[in-house]
Each structure stands twice: as structure tokens, then as C-alpha cells.
Amino acid sequence: MKTADKKQEDYVAVEKLNYMYSFAKSSTIATILAPIISIPLYNSSIDAWRFYSWFIAMAIIVAIRMYIIYTVDLTKDINRNFALLNWAVGLTTFAWGVGWLILIQENTLLNYLIYEIISLTVLFVGMVGYCVNWKTFFSFVLPLKLPEVIFVYINFETIVWPVAAGSLVALYLALKMATLFSKSWEKSISLRFLNDSLVNQLIDEKNASIAANIAKSEFIATASHDLRQPMQAINIYLELINFKNLEAATKSTIQKIKASVEQLNKMFNTLLDISKLDAESVTVKNESFLSETFLKEIQELFQAQIANKNLNIEFKSTNFSILGDKFLLQQILINLISNAIQYTSRGCINVALLSENNYLTLEVKDTGCGISIEDQSLIFKEFYRVSSSRSMHDGLGLGLTIVNRILKIIKAEVLLESQIGKGSRFKVITSYATTAPLNPNNLEESIISKNVFVPIDNHNKVDQPNLMNENSRHIAVIEDDLSLLAAYTEFFTNKGFVVYPFNGSMSQLQEGLLNITQLDFVISDYRLETETGDQIIQKIREEFNSHIPALILTADTSPQHIKLFKKLKIEVLYKPITTTEIYKFINEFFYINMK
């Protein structure tokens, strides 16, 4: 493998060859015209046979030069090309050098001066084109100047010495200028090589970063899928447990298991949010909603969490209307509040929606452990958690990463102020427009809620009312895990559905569809034994020649599948998820779409 110095040397050599080759080709016309221009200058001043012998020899040499130049192949051996170029330029200047011995025979001052001017012109023009490579430059200069030295020696007694001395000075200056130009040129090419190397290195690093992100997304999706599948079974089996028949100690143990499972579910949902953002499947919506209503909905989500930690929390806002994406704002605020609760063990949390210069601003302030200056630039990175407060965190360290990505999507920015031991303040400045309060007579800031909590009993909830039409309850359930399939079938049958269970086999599906006359909804796992859920759903739609609403339950959160489900207009819920949540989704889906 070549070293960096060797690569640079090769690069400079190639650039030298390209430069000189380009100059040699471009100067071909001048090489042809120069001997022709000499005809009126010397044709009548010397013997005709001498001049035309030189002219014919020059013509032959120019032809040979052209042939050699056009046989140079830049894709072949570089040393061969240099040698060809050296011969081409050396032959031509040798013909001009021999002119000293042929054309200046009478040694008149005028002829001498004219040829000196021609010689110096050839020297300085060639210097620009060939001084970048010293072997080529000497191949050019020596055949031109050595015959002149011989001419001076032969005509020592009659030579015009001021002209000869001037020629030597000009040669010295040409060599000096050639040296300076050559060094400057090589330095410029070397810098370009370094720049190209840096650019290539940056491109390689960028490609490596892109590949790493793709690998990371694929790893998260794969790991998430493999973990979600058994978690889905755990969720369903925990739901099927009848708490009435359990002893108090057993019930307490299972409650703790359920609490741990719920925490795992939250982590999986966080990974899902990252996958959606990686898939760029988030569509920014513009809808109008009220600030107070928005904050009340957020407050309800945190009632139990705040009550368990015995923290004071205050939600406040003036009553104004917001035009923007409500869901994305919820995600930002939920993650910021969750982060504040996580790192605040005592004191209070203040959440505010403000209208500043007719644009929405969100603020979340806490009295938690605070963030050091060093960590403030890192907390928005994936999976990063401050080491000093790691024991207070039971998540994945993705909450602020999700906030940061959403802020980029909606073109907002976040400002952070924090002091160790005193707390943190996150201020999000959005481009979402706000309008005047609905009640112009009450512009005072209103505290929506302060420490008002409603106890939540997760085990004595009233079932959601059935919003579905009595005639729209024929559903197909596709799942290759037979125990899960039985659990789904039992649950939906108890909810009043007519359930058609399938194990994911295409042959069983085709046979079973022959006996079904009505189908209103399809629920399918994605990764089945021989097929995928989208293929099964497409097959069912083809058989019924109808776009039957469908829902895929999957543990696969890869970005390409998120895009696929959206394209096929298939709803998707991600494991782990309870059968109650599935039922709620279907119920609300029919209610919204059948209104």
C-alpha cells in the first residue's frame, strides 16, 4: 500500500505531465508558423541552399514533434510519456539551435540581433511550459543554447560581445524565473493534493457516518423487533390474568411485574419514535387549537407520575389560539416534562405556553439536579445520559434526541439555561403563529392547574363504550403464534366480534376466505411464518375486491416498513401493545370513518 508521500509524489508527477502535454499541444501551431515567418527574414540574406536545407530539416523535425506529441497516451506508463515529451521538445529546440551555425553565417549585426530575439523568445515561451519538470526543461534549453555557445566560440574575434553577454544574462534570468515558477507550481499542486485528500477523507467519513446511521437504524429495528415479540405475549397474558382469584401477595407481585412491563413498553415506544423520524415519515400539519385545552390534555398525561413523586407542577398560559402541528408540539412538551420529572426529586416544575411577538414559545423549568456546561452540548445526542445523574434515569436517553429532531422538522430552536444543583430551563421558540385570546376582556395570565390531581386506578377502569355499528364487527385475525391467536380470538369474541382466525398460511387463508361473506376489518402480525402481513392483507383485499380497512401489529420499526404501510394505507400499531389498546384503536377508527 502506498504511503502518503508516495501518493503525493505520484499525484504531482501526473499533474506535471498533464500540464506540459497540454502546453505542447497548444503550442503546435506556433511551432509550425515560426519557421515560415523566418523565410522573409533570411531567404535573401544567406545562400538559398543553406536556408532551405535548414527549413526542410525544421519542417521534418516539426512533423516528428507532432507525431511524438500525439502518440503520448496519458493512461499509460508515466515514465514513457515523460521520455516522449523530452524528445519532442528537445528535437525542436535543437533545430533552432543549429540555426546559429547556418542562418548567421555572414555574422551581420542585424541577422545576429534578429536571431537572438528569436532564440530568447523560444527560451522564455518554453520556460513557462516546461520548467515544472527539470529533465524536460533541460531537454528544451540545452539543445537551444549549446549551439549558440559554439557559435560564439567560432566567431570569438568578431562577435558582438554586448549581445552575447546579454544573452547569458537572459539565460540566467530564465533559469532563475523557471526555478521560482517551478517551486510555486509544485507547492500549489501539493496544496491541491492535500485539499483533495482532505475532501476525499471528509467524503469517506460522511459515507461512513451515513452507513453507521443506517446500520444503527437497522440494529434498532431488528433488536426492537426481537424484543417486542415476546413482550407482546407478556402483555396479553398479563391482561388475561383474573385478579379476583389471586391472593394479596401474588396480586402485589404481578402488579410490580406489570409496572416493570409498562416501563419497558415506554422504552419501546421511544425507539419507535426515533424510527419514525429516521424514516422521514412525519408529516407536519397545520391545525388551529387552543393553548389552554392543549395544556390540559398534557396535564392529564402526567397526573399519576407527578403524584407518585410528590412534586409541585404548574401549567400556565394565556388563552390564545395556535396554528401548527398539535401532535409534534405534544411530543416536544411530553419529552421535556418527562425529562424534568426524571431529574427533579423535590421542588417544582413550571410549564408555560407563551405568545411572544405573535409566535408560540414553550417553557419547561424545573428545580432538579441541573446540567453542567460541558454536558449541555451533548444531552441532545442519542443515548447520552449525564454520568452524575445516571442513577436517576431509567430510560434510554432518547427523549431530548426526539425533541431535537422534531425541532428541526418544524424549524424551531431550543434555548437551555441550567445550573448544577439549582435546576434547568428549556425554552422552545417556534414559528407557529398565535392569535389574540378568545376573550379579549381577560388578558391576564391564567394558571390552568396547580397540583390538582385525579387518582387513577388502572385496574378499575370503565370499558370504553362500543362506538361501532352492530353490522361492522366481522374481523379476520392473522397470527402464526397459535397461543396469541387464541388469546386474540377469545378477547374479540367477548367484545361481540365475529372473528375469523388464520395462522398466516396462504393455503389456509384461501380455503377459509371461501366461507366468509362479510369482512369489515383485518388484524395481522407482520412477520408470519411464510408470508408478511402486507401480502396477506393485499390478498384478502383482492379476494373481496374491496379496500378493507386493515391493521398490522408488528415489532418491526424499520423506516422502510413505516413507509410501506403508509403507501398501502394500512394502519399500524407497534408491539408491545395490549388487546384493550387494539380494541380502542379499532373502535375509534370505525367511529371516525363511519360518521
| pLDDT digits 0-9 by tens, 389-447 | 444 455 445 667 778 888 888 888 888 888 888 888 889 898 888 887 545 444 444 44
- For residues 272 and 557, is the Cβ–Cβ distance under 8 A? yes
What b/e sequence results for 321-355 when a residue is b if at least 16 CB atoms lie within 10 Å of its CB, and e otherwise? ebebbbebbebbbbbbbbbbbbbbeeebbbbbbbb
Instruction: State the helix-helix crossing angle for 161-239 and 134-154, rounded to 10 degrees.
Output: 180
d(CA 288, CA 322): 5
Q: Give me the mean pLDDT over the 51-63 stretch.
A: 89
Q: Cα dist. 112→31, 158, 201, 218 in Å?
A: 21, 12, 58, 82
Query: Could you give the percent of the chain with pLDDT greater than 70?
Result: 79
Question: How does the average pLDDT of the chain come out, rounded?
Answer: 78
Name the residue with higher pLDDT: 230 or 465.
230
Q: Give me the mean pLDDT over the 55-77 stretch.
A: 87
Q: How many CB atoms lie within 10 A of CB 137?
A: 23
Helices (H) and strands (E) in the chain, counts: 18, 13
Q: Give me the mean pLDDT over the 564-583 stretch.
A: 84
Residue 532 is given by DSSP the state B
Model pLDDT, residue 558 = 67
Question: What confidence category does residue 218 fall into, taking pLDDT thresholds of 50, 70 and 90?
Answer: low
Q: How many CB atoms lie within 10 A of CB 41?
A: 15
Residue 527 cell numbers, joined: 412477520
Asked if pLDDT for residue 33 goes beyond 70, the answer is: yes
Model pLDDT, residue 270 = 58
Tell the residue number behind the cell numbers 496519458, with chain if given: 74
pLDDT digits (tens, 9 = 90+) for 341-365: 888 888 888 888 888 888 899 899 9
Question: What confidence category does residue 501 fall into, taking pLDDT thresholds of 50, 70 and 90?
Answer: very high
Asked if pLDDT for residue 523 goes beyond 90, the answer is: yes
Question: What confidence category does residue 160 fall into, taking pLDDT thresholds of 50, 70 and 90?
Answer: confident
Name the residue with higher pLDDT: 233 or 282.
233
Model pLDDT, residue 121 = 84
Highest-confidence range of 237-246, 420-429, 464-473, by mean pLDDT?
Answer: 420-429
Q: How many CA atoms lie within 13 A of 20 on its CB side?
A: 31
Model pLDDT, residue 387 = 52
d(CA 284, CA 410): 7
Highest-confidence range of 46-55, 182-191, 266-275, 533-542, by mean pLDDT?
Answer: 533-542
Model pLDDT, residue 500 = 92
Model pLDDT, residue 272 = 57
Model pLDDT, residue 446 = 47
Which range is least confidently modeled, 186-195, 341-350, 477-486? 186-195
CATH of domain 287-450: 3.30.565.10
Model pLDDT, residue 1 = 47
Q: Give me the mean pLDDT over the 234-251 stretch.
A: 77
Asked if pLDDT for residue 99 goes beyond 50, the answer is: yes
* Degrees, nearest 5: CA angle 72-77-83: 55
Question: What confidence category does residue 453 fall into, taking pLDDT thresholds of 50, 70 and 90?
Answer: very low
Model pLDDT, residue 457 = 38
Asked if pLDDT for residue 254 goes beyond 90, the answer is: no
Which range is least confidently modeled, 81-85, 415-419, 528-532, 556-560? 556-560
Asked if pLDDT for residue 234 goes beyond 80, the answer is: no
d(CA 440, CA 525): 52
**pTM for the whole thing?**
0.42
Which range is least confidently modeled, 86-95, 244-253, 499-508? 244-253
d(CA 73, CA 365): 71
Model pLDDT, residue 461 = 41
- For residues 360 and 477, is the Cβ–Cβ distance under 8 A? no
Model pLDDT, residue 551 = 92
- For residues 144 and 170, is the Cβ–Cβ distance under 8 A? no
Model pLDDT, residue 226 = 64
Model pLDDT, residue 276 = 60
Q: Give me the mean pLDDT over the 288-309 stretch.
A: 78
Question: What confidence category does residue 476 fall into, taking pLDDT thresholds of 50, 70 and 90?
Answer: very high
Instruction: State the helix-helix crossing angle for 109-130 and 161-239, rounded to 10 degrees.
Output: 10
d(CA 543, CA 537): 10
pLDDT digits (tens, 9 = 90+) for 540-567: 999 888 889 999 988 776 667 778 888 8
Closest CA to 39 of 50, 28, 51: 51
Q: Give me the mean pLDDT over the 166-179 stretch.
A: 80
Asked if pLDDT for residue 308 goes beyond 90, the answer is: no
Asked if pLDDT for residue 450 goes beyond 60, the answer is: no
Q: How many CB atoms lie within 10 A of CB 250?
A: 12
Query: Could you give the percent of the chain with pLDDT greater than 90?
Result: 3
Of the candidate CATH numbers 3.40.50.2300, 3.60.21.10, 3.40.50.2000, 3.90.1010.10, the domain formed by 474-594 belongs to: 3.40.50.2300
pLDDT digits (tens, 9 = 90+) for 374-386: 776 666 665 555 5
